[in-house]
Structure 1
Amino acid sequence: MIPFNTSIVSGVALSKIDGETKMLLMKRVKGGFWCHVAGSIEGDETAVEAIIREFDEETKIQVVDLYNAQFLEQFFEASVNVIELIPVFVVLCPANQEVELNDEHTEYKWCSLSEALEMAPFPNQHAVYQHVWSYFVDKPINPLYRVELT
């Protein structure tokens, strides 16, 4: 039997950078690959509380415009024999959003979809980025995806 892990959340930040919509990718210290924001749910946090905290910790982005991306990132992590199921969120940031990385990442880049697909190594990342671009950039965002923050 292969267990499931559902204790991780992830999020893609979007911002208009010099007038063009871009998504945030960061280079991880562990593994040295490019990725979006992700992290574990702590204690009795909800997924929404966890993604807000992760954005603050990893980027200092204050989440005020949050959406359920309507997508589950999923992959098999062979080293621990676990299937990861990760809800994806989208954060709409103000234009030219500033980023301040913590020690989990060495650099960041605001990317077009094609740049993100070139930089990110994993097929599941590509699926996330294509989905987010399709539903949050290429067409008007469905208001039903909005997550109300309290």
Structure 2
Amino acid sequence: MIPLSTSIVAGVALSQINGETKMLLMKRSKGNYWCHVAGHIEGEEKAWQAIIREFKEETQIEVCQLYNGQILEQFFEANVNVIQIIPVFAVLCPPEQTVVLNHEHTEYRWCSLQEACDLVPFPNQREVYQQVWQSFVLNKPHPLFEVDIGSLN
């Protein structure tokens, strides 16, 4: 039997940078690969609360518009024999969003969909980016995708 883990959340930030929609990628200090924001749910947090906290910790982005990305990032972690199932959120940032990285990342880039897909090592990352691009850039997100973050306060 292979255990399932559902203790991680992920989020893809989108912003208008120099008039073009871009997604945020960061290079992880540990592993030296490009990725989006992700982290563990702590205590009694709901998934959406965890991703808001992770965005603040990793990038100093204050999440104002949060959406269910309508995709689960999933992969098998062979070294610990666990299948990770990770809900993905989309964060719609104001234009020219600033980023301040914490120690978990060494650099960041605002990327087009193609640039993002070219940078990341994992096929599931590319699927996530394509889904987010389709649902939040090429199309207007359905109102049911929006997460009511007002109850966080």
The two structures have a TM-score, normalised by structure 2, of: 0.97
Q: Which residue in the other structure is 2:58 paired with?
A: 58
Distance 2:140 2:49 in 1: 26
How many residues end up aligned between the 2 structures? 150
Q: Does 1:76 align with 2:42?
A: no
Distance 2:139 2:70 in 1: 15
Structure 2 regions of 5+ residues with no counterpart?
none
Q: Which residue in the other structure is 2:67 paired with?
A: 67
Secondary structure of the 1:25 match is strand
Secondary structure of the 2:138 match is coil
The two structures have a TM-score, normalised by structure 1, of: 0.99
Distance 1:15 1:3 in 2: 36
Q: Which residue in the other structure is 1:20 paired with?
A: 20
Amino acid at match of 1:24: L
Q: In the TM superposition, what are the counterparts of 1:1-150 in structure 2 within 5 Å?
A: 1-149=1-149, 150=151
Distance 1:37 1:140 in 2: 22
Distance 1:122 1:4 in 2: 19
What is the RMSD of the two structures over their aligned residues, measured on CA atoms?
0.4
Distance 1:17 1:142 in 2: 23
Distance 1:86 1:25 in 2: 17
User: Percent same amino acid at aligned positions?
Assistant: 67
